[in-house]
Structure 1
Amino acid sequence: MISVLSNIQDDICNYADAISGITGTDVEIIDESLMRIAGTGKYRHMLNQNVAKNGYIYRHVLRVQETVLIKNPGENTLCQHCEKHLYCSEMLDLNAPIFLNNRVIGVIGIICSTEEQRQTLLNQIDKFITFIEQVAVMISSKVFECLERLRAQETLGAFRRLIDAMDRGVVAIDGNNLIWHANLSAARLFNREVIGLPLTIETTGDILYGDEEAWLTLEDQKRHVLCKQISLSSLENDSLTMVIFHDARDYMSKITMPSYESDSRARLIGHSQPMEQLRSTIGKIANSYASVLITGESGSGKEVVAFAIHQNSPRKASPFVTINCAAIPEQLLESELFGYVRGAFSGADPKGRVGKFELANGGSLFLDEIGDMPLHLQAKLLRVLQEKAITRVGSNNVINTDVRIIAATNKNIYDMVESGLFREDLYYRLNVVPLVLPSLRERREDIAGLAQYFADEFSESYGRPRQKVPDDMINLLYAYHWPGNIRELRNVIEYIYVMQGDAVGMNASHLPPHLLSAAEKQKNSHHKGLHSLDKQGRKAEKEVIENVLLRFGNSVEGKKQAATELGIGIATLYRKIKRYDLQ
């Protein structure tokens, strides 16, 4: 026997979509014979299936004829006979009966699958119970047409109150494209009163993150959004279109981009001559719009320098987006750079995804390890840089971009060009401003400051009091050859904190074995006896102190500044000046 709900299944499915769009949960609507009439999410493709095998909660609602909230599916006594109760994925169920002439003809089920969804419902449970019961009334009214107009005003009022509490924008437009209702989030997006104004919706045809990409135009304002459109009926209008949307840029940035601590990313540590020269160069580069190619050994801080360029540029308020061309498989790199739409290729996220170029629009894009980019992608990158526009994989829409490119590599790109491994035209497009970073070996006088900076950082992260890196350990750090540069130094300091444990004060025994082994080999190879390594450390220390005193001067005030720079007390500085005969 066909149920009354199945006669209006298309309308029932629209109501399920509306509930899901507003609550952010999955929704099921079943009839009195436990047949699934409508469903969203994973239930959308399981319509007209009987759920009697596991539908114990729905059976209970049909029997008691009232709204039932199950806070612990799987553990609730109603679920004990369900074959899935031991591994139930549902975290909360809210179910309301659908009445017709005092007879229950079906059940609406709101299903939470995440803790976030669960907390959202529980925080406003009274509103959601009212809402789901009112929607049940709307469905009942649709079935029983003669009662619809008597009840629609009340149900739409509840509908309005709930959508006003949503953080997503919601507008309802009538058949003349005039806004009939809008919630506060929608009004905030346009920053004005919008009721009664004409709204135009232009979809691009692309599906991103499960929503349609579209442009909403309200008189002279145009907004880029990701939205769902749902057709409903109302009392005053023959038809309504509900548009539920996010601001595209804010939403895509929020779910795609990591959060950065700007201060730590932008800080360039050290006052050696190479570092002072680097700061001066960055100041000149930052104010231009030219592409920059940063070269230097692995671990020398190329991303930190790239971020410093961005932070000192007119684009600092816009995104700084990074992508490591060597860390992403070749077949996925194009989609990471340019994005893709739903169904673009096998294995892609069915919701679609924006690319790094689009996320960086208005800001800077850091292409790390550019030397590892395959040749066919180099050609596409060159075209994007020339045309200042991208096309997502699987789409025909051309998207204009305004992005500053900062690239980096530890390879000799010019040699790769000569060998045919890197496009010459792309090389010259990227290498407008070349920037070569010094290795840590070329700025040894910064080692003490860097070591102390990392020590302070790990003191905080490990929840320990700050402690000074002792001089004997600094001497060993000075003498090491640092093939891994600053990254290796940071790892060494973290190793020290791990090996130190609860011991009071760090010492040379906490250093990594490879560093101690290198020091021992160096000592033996130079045949300088048991104290040679210490002497070499003292020689390096003497050079550092000489350079600092040369910068600040030999006055009392200059020596105070020098001591502060070196991270030692003034008395210690005077002892070292006397030891090294630097008067």
Structure 2
Amino acid sequence: MISVLSNIQDDICNYADAISGITGTDVEIIDESLMRIAGTGKYRHMLNQNVSKNGYIYRHVLRVQETVLIKNPGENALCQHCEKHLYCSEMLDLNAPIFLNNRVIGVIGIICSTEEQRNTLLSQIDKFVTFIEQIAVMISSKVFECLERLRAQETLGAFRRLIDAMDRGVVAIDGNNRVWHANVSAARLFNREVIGCSLSIETTGDILYGDEEAWITLEDQKRHVLCKQITLSSLENESLTMVIFHDARDYMSQITTTTYESDRRARLIGHSQPMEQLRSTIAKIANSYASVLITGESGSGKEVVAFAIHQNSPRKDKPFVTINCAAIPEQLLESELFGYVRGAFSGADPKGRVGKFELANGGSLFLDEIGDMPLHLQAKLLRVLQEKAITRVGSNNVINIDVRIIAATNKNIYDMVENHQFREDLFYRLNVVPLVLPSLRERREDIASLAQYFADEFSENYQRPNRKIPAEIINLLYAYHWPGNIRELRNVIEYIYVMQGDASGMNASHLPPHLLSSMNGDIKKTSEGLQSLDKQGRSAERSIIEQALARCGTSVEGKKQAAAELGIGIATLYRKIKVYDLG
């Protein structure tokens, strides 16, 4: 197969001569199949030869797709398989890739054969790297011009097949803004025949992820895209623009930072009175567009509740994006929220980046630990909520957004407002619907359900059979005071699975020492091997048994089902019914 560089071999040879004349070195230019397209000096008479036998450095450049400097070719690890590496005459190699549509189609190689040549290049290596990379760009442009000249010929068919294979949309526009060619991806994006239609491009001026942000209008359809534009000249010297683009929204959705693999992680576990009340409240507020402020102790499940609100809302098919305001340095938080464009500030990604607000457009944005947001950012957040628009850092482009805000904090937000640590106007914007989460101490009835839920999760993670947690452990869990709430409970269950090892079952010895020591002296073993509870534990156990009987019924079958659900024997259940006078 003839490479694209072979089509302009005479021009490639002229470029090689020019490079050699300036650098005083020998030059090779090879294509992607390691065929020598051009050469100077001793390589001039070896054109159209395959160099794969000794071209290990070129093969490496084709693979890594970046400029590579080899200071000692014979000694470099890349050359160890070359049959000439022990008596290599080359003293330095500088190699730059030639790109075409983000694909490497060849390599320029500068070869130093004398110490003088080597020292000359190394003394001004940055300038020579820039020079050779610019030549590579010029060759790439020449290739484009060649392809344009060949568009009326049969070889254009292969070029079109190449474009059609790209996952990005590609259209070619003539001087009258008419599309004379488009690939399959472009037609798919607009869901119609594209060739012959009028197309206009309106750039926003922002650079994101290395591409221009723009709006493409095809007849009466308008699409938000990230694109590159390449202007060429046709045989008739008419302007021709190649536009390579992809849908901005699709790309942004691929980089949304928080996704939930299933509803499993968002389930609200437990049937205690506080949890049933919480479910009822979520059902009422989910269908609204009001902002929600979730408060509660650390580890009480605020993010799970936020996602449950999103999943039960009309926005459930749109993004759910989270940001922890306490986990991101203050100087970076603004750019994380609103995004930034190329060159916005020192140290920024030179490609630019979309912010969390933009990623969440149409969906929900969860602002965790909102109480830790700096005051100057609180003012900007308030303005965004009022105007429903953002501006990326370093840009003047105003972007309208439609985002539902769900905020959360474990701090006393009321005291913070009173002490002027949190803006009062922002507080009222966020606190349209306040939601206070109960601590685990306030919903002890749910400990068994939560513990078993986590146990099932870790059984899957550690590839072990699902097993009921023994009543011995459940009783100990009921008696503990849980300062770390649900997060601590989950950690305790994982600790059990870690310490259990290959043992067939779990027992109290697998519990964390701090949990056992905190209850030392309060818990004694009963004659049946179970451990009795302190007063708080007994009250919780009585409530759990009552609820299980209410759900399963008091018939013989109902009691059997309740005993199975509680993870205890039927005889033990009857005994506890008698002890607690549950009739």
Give the TM-score, by structure 2 length.
0.77
Change (3 A) 1:444 1:504: same
Change (3 A) 1:77 1:367: closer
Output the amino acid matched with 1:304: V
Q: How does 1:489-508 map to 2 (within 5 A)?
A: 489-508=489-508
8 A contact 2:98–2:140 mirrored in 1: no
Paired with 1:77 and 1:316, the residues of 2 have a C-alpha distance of: 47
Indicate the residue corresponding to 1:476 in structure 2. Answer: 476
Indicate the residue corresponding to 1:263 in structure 2. Answer: 263
Indicate the residue corresponding to 1:328 in structure 2. Answer: 328
Q: Aligned with 1:294: secondary structure?
A: strand
CA deviations 1:259-299 (Å, max 9, x no partner) are 32131232100011110010000000101110000000000
Change (3 A) 1:556 1:394: same
Output the amino acid matched with 2:408: A
Q: Aligned with 1:520: secondary structure?
A: coil
Q: Does 1:487 align with 2:487?
A: yes
CA drift of 1:547 comes to 3.4
What count of residue pairs does the alignment treat as equivalent? 505
Q: How does 1:415-430 map to 2 (within 5 A)?
A: 415-430=415-430
Paired with 1:83 and 1:246, the residues of 2 have a C-alpha distance of: 44
Q: How does 1:3-18 map to 2 (within 5 A)?
A: none
Structure 2 gap ranges (5+): 40-45, 62-69, 80-94, 105-137, 525-529
Paired with 1:171 and 1:318, the residues of 2 have a C-alpha distance of: 29
Indicate the residue corresponding to 2:66 in structure 1. Answer: none
8 A contact 2:19–2:27 mirrored in 1: no
CA drift of 1:53 comes to 9.4
Output the amino acid matched with 1:505: G
Paired with 2:350 and 2:60, the residues of 1 have a C-alpha distance of: 37
8 A contact 1:364–1:403 mirrored in 2: yes
Q: Aligned with 1:367: secondary structure?
A: strand
Sequence identity of aligned pairs in percent?
Answer: 76
Indicate the residue corresponding to 1:361 in structure 2. Answer: 361
Q: Does 1:35 align with 2:19?
A: yes
One of 48, 52, 74 as aligned partner of 1:65: 48
Indicate the residue corresponding to 2:520 in structure 1. Answer: 520
Change (3 A) 1:578 1:523: closer
Paired with 2:301 and 2:60, the residues of 1 have a C-alpha distance of: 59
8 A contact 1:56–1:82 mirrored in 2: no
CA drift of 1:154 comes to 3.2
CA drift of 1:570 comes to 5.2
Paired with 1:582 and 1:36, the residues of 2 have a C-alpha distance of: 98
Change (3 A) 1:142 1:285: closer
Structure 1 gap ranges (5+): 13-28, 38-47, 89-105, 119-134, 525-529
Indicate the residue corresponding to 1:82 in structure 2. Answer: 73
8 A contact 1:320–1:363 mirrored in 2: yes
8 A contact 1:301–1:486 mirrored in 2: yes
Paired with 1:310 and 1:392, the residues of 2 have a C-alpha distance of: 25
Output the amino acid matched with 2:520: E
CA drift of 1:500 comes to 1.1
Paired with 1:297 and 1:336, the residues of 2 have a C-alpha distance of: 26
CA drift of 1:252 comes to 1.6
Output the amino acid matched with 2:371: G
Indicate the residue corresponding to 1:99 in structure 2. Answer: none
CA deviations 1:128-173 (Å, max 9, x no partner) are xxxxxxx999947968xxx985786234222111010111111111
Paired with 2:52 and 2:239, the residues of 1 have a C-alpha distance of: 32
Indicate the residue corresponding to 2:172 in structure 1. Answer: 172
Paired with 1:188 and 1:66, the residues of 2 have a C-alpha distance of: 42
Q: Aligned with 2:309: secondary structure?
A: helix
CA drift of 1:548 comes to 3.0
Paired with 2:265 and 2:410, the residues of 1 have a C-alpha distance of: 20
CA drift of 1:82 comes to 2.8
Give the TM-score, by structure 1 length.
0.77
CA deviations 1:424-463 (Å, max 9, x no partner) are 0000000000000000011111111111111110111111
Q: Does 1:312 align with 2:312?
A: yes
Q: Aligned with 2:250: secondary structure?
A: helix
8 A contact 2:441–2:481 mirrored in 1: yes
CA deviations 1:498-535 (Å, max 9, x no partner) are 111111111111111111121226569xxxxx976578
CA deviations 1:404-443 (Å, max 9, x no partner) are 0000000111100000000000000000000000000111
Change (3 A) 1:385 1:560: farther
Paired with 2:391 and 2:337, the residues of 1 have a C-alpha distance of: 10
Indicate the residue corresponding to 2:527 in structure 1. Answer: none
Output the amino acid matched with 2:406: I
8 A contact 1:153–1:235 mirrored in 2: no
Q: Aligned with 2:170: secondary structure?
A: strand
Output the amino acid matched with 1:434: P
Change (3 A) 1:532 1:138: closer
When the two chains are superposed, the root-mean-square deviation of aligned CA atoms in Å is 3.9
